[in-house]
Amino acid sequence: MTEGNMWLNETIGVVPKNAWAIDPFGYSPTMAYLLRRMGFENMLIQRTHYELKKDLAKNKNLEYIWRQSWDIDESTDIFVHMMPFYSYDIPHTCGPEPAICCQFDFARIRGHSMYELCPWGQHPVEIDHDNVQDQALKLLDQYKKKSTLYRTNTLLVPLGDDFRYVSTDEAEAQFRNYQSLFDYINSDSNLNAEAKFGTLDDYFEALREETDRINYSRPGEIGSAQVMGFPSLSGDFFTYADRQQDYWSGYYVSRPFFKAVDRVLEQTLRGSEIMIALLLGYCQKPVCEKIPTSFTYKLTAARRNLALFQHHDGVTGTAKDHVVVDYGIRMHTSLQDLQIFMSKAVELLLGHPHEKSDKDPSMFEPEQARSKYNVQPVHRSINTPEGSAHGVVFFNPLEQTRDEIVMVIVTRPDMTVLDSNWSCVKSQVSPEFQHDKGKILTGKHRLYWQASVPALGLRTYYIAHGFDGCEKAKPATLRLFSDSDQLHCPSPYACSRLEGNMAEIKNQHQTLSFDLRLGLLQKIKDNDGTVTVVGEEIGMYTSPESGAYLFKPSGEAKPIVQGGGHMVISEGPLVQEFYSYPKTTWDESPVSHSTRIYSGKDTSQEFVIEKEYHVELLGHDFNDKELIVRYKTDLDSRRVFHSDLNGFQTSRRETYDKIPLQGNYYPMPSLAFLQSSNGHRLSVHSRQSLGVASLENGWLEIMLDRRLIKDDGRGLGQGVMDNRPMNIVFNILKESNISSALNPVSTSLPLNPSLLSHRVGADLNYPMHAFISKTALPTSVRPPARSFSPLTASLPCDLHIVNFKIPRLVKYSQQPPEDSRFVLVLQRRQWDSSYCRKGGTNCSKIADEAFNLFHMFKDLTVLNARATSLNLLHDDTEKLGYIEQFGKVAQEGHVKISPMEIQAYKMELRPHKRT
């Protein structure tokens, strides 16, 4: 949005204030919030549930003020016009009767139309002197009928459709005929109407002018001071249905592979933008300016490729195959470009000596890489020669110091880990698994250790082979089960046989129990003795009527896991893992999965259960199948759960018997949680967008992938058959409240995640970026300690840096002296205080006190600091709805942010003058 808004302003001098979104399939209040804070005043939306439209129309509430659920100051209010009928095309915009409205789509005139004729059998004719009266009165009758659904005398009638106005002849036909009709209507004062062409802005200006004169408020109605005469509403518009009981909940999951790539590109772009800002803030060498500015074109392309995929037929998975390929290639190209840049930036920020030419290849390469746009990333294998060490650098893109168990792949197990001071680090080595029934063990190894990386900073570790001064990585012990005796004990691990009906893995906080017959998670036992039933189940819907948009199962999901298969338990001092390649009806299982728990100290990981599902819904055996995982817990949630909206806020969801199963599915961009009346809560954080439901008391069901033959009649013209092998990762968090909380069943207000839950979600969606040195160092030569720590301290743990960037890269010498190149965007998270405040992590403070921008960066002076809109185009923050929150930023640097707010600041950074 920022990139697009700035482009409009720079290219044609326009700062947008009206949002037009006729085709997204349901609407989130997060978008309304972001638009308001960008300086937008009005929104127009179309695709909302047909029953909801009917109810709003009946009460003349199709125009309303959209307010956020937490807002008691009316500061988030934005005016919304909702279109009243089935579609946004001409037959469905002039009035309630499409057969009549279609007669006024003059691009369809018989004989010279490139568009289909009206399906109702009555077609448009050219307006002339003989028919203008009849046609004008017929059109005006539709206008009058439509106007009864709204409060004001100002009526909007859009005139267009997808792929329209492709020729001047078509545009001329519409304009010429409508002008004749308007001339007739406007010339007869008895009709008491005026009709004219106008823009969306003209409509909203006319409406606001009318409401300034006439108050349309209803008795007892809660309105807004922003635009008088309309009700204020809160909430979201999911799940959308356009007719009968066709719910558009399938697109929440369609093409999950590319939904995952989208998230990776987003976090890589953000990481690159932070690195550019740090380079230009801290490094005074010419190469530190030259490399980012020479990267400008590719950075802009990455922003636009990410933005392009946010299209309502992009990230939704509802584009034609060849369009998906184009999206995929664009995102892959940008990912590669960004990773190459980050590899070079790491070198510069760590102060490695470099040649004068900026064209020198980087010393580092990303730890993960993709060979093509449509394959999973793979971990690079570290093959360290005897007597040498490879450097591994971690970049932490979050605002708090990160203590985390990290992992790299090594070709041999006898490795040692050293930190940047050449001190020994305890480590663990475990076998690497893969989704291959005949060869579950790859022959490579996962090397784990606990890393500590400063906020927005870098730290180097070394993987050494043949270093005598430290203990080698401790091999995990393995327990194996195979119903075909294909699993053999790999060297150098000690193995035993998995026997009995149940098996456990545990760390200092929890013990997990598994059903050994099916290889599925059954229970979580906390260290205080509390037991929570989880009841993991993997199932499949058969859905011959589903398509890219619609989810229309023919019945309940059926479990697919049978007794048997292959299972491995790997246990070590840092990581414990249960791996299962299950037996199913199919010879090649469509899914295998791992459950991991970690024993890191002072990490968020130690509280988390990590679930990783490898999904391969490939081949005709899985046509018209939709794969789900279901957690059948014993939490008394009464079929109430919460899911997130854009990773920004949560919405309360309740399952209803009166609507079909598919209508009870909701979007899950990153989080869903169940909570019982006693405060026990089970949260599932996702690394990508999926769909979620709670169809029975205590159940949480998440769809993983879908493969569908048919088109569902919503415009795509094909099924969804281009499934890719992929990994879906969840972080599951079991929490108990420490004080009384709102009853999640009886309250209609959305609940908030805990502080720990916010941290877990941030760690999952903003993972550390790892880079490996291309060449090994001899262990006989101790390298200088290499780390980079730009912040004076971690930020308060409910304060999040949405981004820290330079929107437009220009050479410092070309920058106006008073300009502010840098932008810092901060978000204060709202959290549920009935759960443990610190969550066991190193959280030392929260943002109740003002945060000082001037003291944020080590060795940098902050100049020209001022508040701005989220699209960076408005500096009058009162217009954006912010109230008394920005304080004296420019003079004193004090930033005070209310929970749930996002605020942006422009600033200039200069290195401290050395005395």
| Catalytically annotated residues | 23
Distance between CA 436 and CA 563 in Å, rounded? 18
For residue 807, give the nearest of 896, 900, 869 by alpha carbon.
869
Distance between CA 655 and CA 663 in Å, rounded? 9
Strand 477-482 to 494-497 pairing? parallel
For the chain, helix (H) and strand (E) counts, in that order, are 13, 47
Question: 817: which residues sit within 8 A by CB, 6+ positions away?
Answer: none
Distance between CA 303 and CA 166 in Å, rounded? 28
**HSE-up (13 A, CA, CB side) for residue 895:** 27
Evaluate the CA torsion angle 199, 204, 210, 213 in order and state its sign: negative
531 and 524 in contact (C-beta within 8 Å)? yes
Could you give the angle at which helices 286-294 and 256-282 cross, rounded to 10 degrees? 150
739 and 833 in contact (C-beta within 8 Å)? yes
**HSE-up (13 A, CA, CB side) for residue 527:** 7
Q: Which residues are paired to 446 by β-bridges?
A: 409, 430
For residue 723, give the nearest of 614, 630, 584 by alpha carbon.
614
Using alpha carbons only, how large is the chain's radius of gyration in Å? 30
Q: Which residues are paired to 654 by β-bridges?
A: 640
Distance between CA 609 and CA 576 in Å, rounded? 10
How is residue 580 annotated by DSSP? E
Q: Which two tokens stand for residue 10?
A: 């720079």
CA 808 to chain centre: 24
Torsion of CA 715, 718, 719, 720, to 10 degrees: -90
For residue 240, give the nearest of 50, 508, 388, 75 by alpha carbon.
50
Distance between CA 685 and CA 758 in Å, rounded? 10
Q: Which residues are paired to 595 by β-bridges?
A: 578, 611
Distance between CA 292 and CA 723 in Å, rounded? 37
Question: How many CB atoms lie under 10 A from the CB of residue 220?
Answer: 5
SS3 assignment, position 546:
coil
Question: How many CB atoms lie under 10 A from the CB of residue 353?
Answer: 6
Beta strand extents in 655-760 (DSSP E only): 666-668, 671-675, 681-686, 690-693, 699-707, 726-735
Evaluate the CA torsion angle 9, 13, 19, 21 in order and state its sign: negative
